A and B are shown apart, each in its own frame.
Chain A
């Protein structure tokens, strides 16, 4: 099998209200125990791609903390390697802070990789993919670039800011465009590519002369006419995290056991950094239903249809429904919460009722006291 290295791109183009003030989407907590970045890194690790470059567009602290040396991703500490690339100061304006410019700034590190191929995956989407298999399909087809897409039937909800892969006759990709159509069905781009390293370097160089605000997908789309670009369909759970709603829905969806089974597949572990928290304690009088509960929590109240992160405290008489509680959140006695995303270390004790609807979940800030 031809060897490839991995690149995990940043996603400065997506904005998640509130949460992103504190960390990039890649570092968002997912299902209480994971971070979004765990999915692309585990996919690479499980696909035997053990040299990985991660590009960060802003606020690197919490991502660096989490990824560390990467040994928890089952990557050989001698043969494998995780490199983290930080945002550069020279990106004076947001429009220049693109994932392509991040690659361009560090092009020498890409040049130095010894593998012939590169697999590129996004840091803001949750899905499981065997990239080794994708690389094999790429080699078999003889294409210049192979893209991965996911066919959705609800393109207008949750995928509004994503891109669509337009596939022409004979399966050739003609362009990749913003998802602006009114159609419910669309082939949403997963932000994943396979190509030769030399072609990536070529794209980085050529596009510098076309537009300095291009993102990687715009660059690839620009050259679709000249290159043989093919697409492969992804199957299984797929969730781009592009705004608060998609973050909330993405978490909630996994409460369905069938969905959970399609994301957590035997033999395909999703690795994460352990916090060595003790098991969760459920006190007398607690009531918990249809929820995912991480370790280290203490529950005395009522929890339904929720994701409970690590070391969360839910006091007696509290009612938590349809919520995503991030680590160290504290819900006080008699507090009633519905359809909220509660960020880390938030404490809700004085405000007794916060209710939003599922279509517009509320957000309670990091460290906030209510």
Chain B
């Protein structure tokens, strides 16, 4: 399929520090989710499924794992002659020293040469750390229909939640008339999802100016969007309805995993027309033992379950010993739980071993316990 009308750039540089020890060695987009996925599989699969064939991934914080992970574009089918996933880390240039990405907009500015080499008409800017399924091609059609300079995907949230987001104020025709970052008293409930389509020529002009503006934070929300608004360019809101989650904290990551246990969950990872692609592991199907007890669970291949699993999500290659109990918990890839151990309301990080008979977490804890070290 030939198509380079729209190029995608995924912002994947953030640490996600509220995920604590989970992101000590990996950037937030590389954090595991949903049994077999990593968060960045979502925007990458959405790109592949939407026919966006060239994707730049802007990485910075602890990017070794993330770089090697996304470099294998074949995982998302983005490895044909006309497609590819490219890792773009800060680099030294002939006319400038080595700069880290100073902000979200700067990450794009520093790669104008990369984008220009594909000569796209539109640029899709995405976050690497959100969980959702979305057809960007439909959003592009809307952008063209509205003849906009910028289209921002928004979703309705409660007024209480609105204080935590960038909020778009729109007129009756979805034109964005104003924008507020985390307002104390929101004037609208339309939250920005951090998904932008720009007409590239227009954005390029602004970025070139922004790069040399010493007062700028080089940020889309703080600088680029306001500049577009004040310049009289047309910005429109594209309303999204469906599952979308920014898993910024241990509690919200746990919750997003728990959502998968609900048969009516709207993320629907089982949709054969919109699969989420990920790394394939050479693992046996899950083995459920003779004395195992499973009651409401989401379990992937490569797991061995000999104990009890209730209300829990078990990731690739985890092993649960005889008589162990996993209740209301998330076990990330390669977790080993010894015989008789009890894990309650916990999120156990990749590769952690929990010894025989250990007791971790409790049913009446207010917050979900992150277990990042062997117990």
Contacts and interface: CB of A to CB of B under 8 A. Distances in A.
A260 B293 contact: no
A294 B293 contact: no
Interface string B240-279: 0000000000000000000011010000011000011110
A274 B298 contact: no
Most buried by B among A270, A278, A292: A278
A293 interface: yes
Contacts of B277: 276
B287 A279 contact: no
Contacts of A271: 282
Given A278-B35, A282-B297, A289 B286 contact: no
Interface in B266-310: 269-270, 275-278, 280, 282, 284-301, 309
Contacts of A276: 275-278, 280
B28 interface: no
Contacts of A281: 260-261, 263, 297-298
B74 interface: yes
A272 B270 CA distance: 20
A287 interface: yes
Contact of A33 (B285, B293, B297): B285
B34 interface: yes
A222 B292 CA distance: 54
Contact of B74 (A31, A71, A270): A71
B301 A295 contact: yes
A270 B282 contact: yes
B36 A278 contact: yes
Dominant SS at the A interface? Answer: loop
A281 B269 CA distance: 11
Contacts of A294: 285-286, 301
Given A72-B280, A286-B295, A296-B270, A279 B300 contact: yes
B298 A287 contact: no
A260 B287 contact: yes
Given A276-B278, A278-B34, A280-B298, A292 B285 contact: yes
B36 A279 contact: yes
B69 to A, nearest CB: 16
A315 to B, nearest CB: 13
Contact of B288 (A31, A71, A274, A289): A289
A260 B284 contact: yes
A121 B289 CA distance: 33
Contacts of B291: 289
Given A278-B34, A279-B300, A283-B263, A288 B282 contact: no
Contact of A31 (B269, B285, B297): B285
Nearest to A33: B285
A296 B276 CA distance: 12
A293 B294 CA distance: 13
B285 A293 contact: yes
Interface string A64-88: 0000000110000000000000000
A72 B280 CA distance: 9
Contacts of A308: 285
Interface residues of B, number: 35
B34 A279 contact: yes
Interface in A275-325: 276-296, 298, 307-308
B227 to A, nearest CB: 41
A290 B300 contact: no
Nearest to A38: B282
Given A33-B301, A279-B36, A284-B296, A290 B288 contact: yes
A363 interface: no
A264 interface: yes
Contact of A279 (B275, B299, B309): B299
Contacts of B285: 31-33, 292-295, 307-308
Given A33-B285, A291-B288, A293-B286, A280 B299 contact: yes
Contact of B289 (A278, A286, A290): A290
A286 B34 CA distance: 20
A270 B300 CA distance: 17
B295 A280 contact: no
B71 to A, nearest CB: 16
Interface string B151-174: 000000000000000000000000
A288 B295 contact: no
A311 to B, nearest CB: 8
Interface string A255-271: 10100100010000111
A272 B297 CA distance: 26
A286 B277 CA distance: 28
A312 to B, nearest CB: 11
Most buried by B among A281, A283, A291: A281
A97 B285 CA distance: 35
Contacts of B313: 279
A255 B282 CA distance: 18
B86 to A, nearest CB: 20
A182 B365 CA distance: 67
A286 B295 CA distance: 6
Most buried by A among B34, B284, B287, B288: B288
Contacts of B34: 278-279
Given A280-B299, A282-B294, A288-B294, A293 B284 contact: no
Interface of A: 31-33, 71-72, 255, 257, 260, 264, 269-272, 274, 276-296, 298, 307-308
Query: Nearest 10 pairs between A and B by C-beta?
Result: A279-B35, A269-B282, A279-B300, A278-B269, A274-B280, A294-B285, A292-B285, A282-B297, A290-B290, A276-B275
12 contacts: A31-B284, A32-B285, A257-B287, A272-B282, A278-B34, A281-B263, A286-B295, A291-B288, A292-B287, A292-B288, A293-B287, A294-B301
Given A279-B35, A292-B287, 19 more contacts: A264-B284, A269-B282, A272-B282, A276-B276, A279-B34, A279-B298, A282-B309, A284-B296, A285-B295, A286-B295, A287-B293, A291-B287, A291-B288, A292-B284, A292-B285, A293-B287, A294-B286, A295-B300, A295-B301
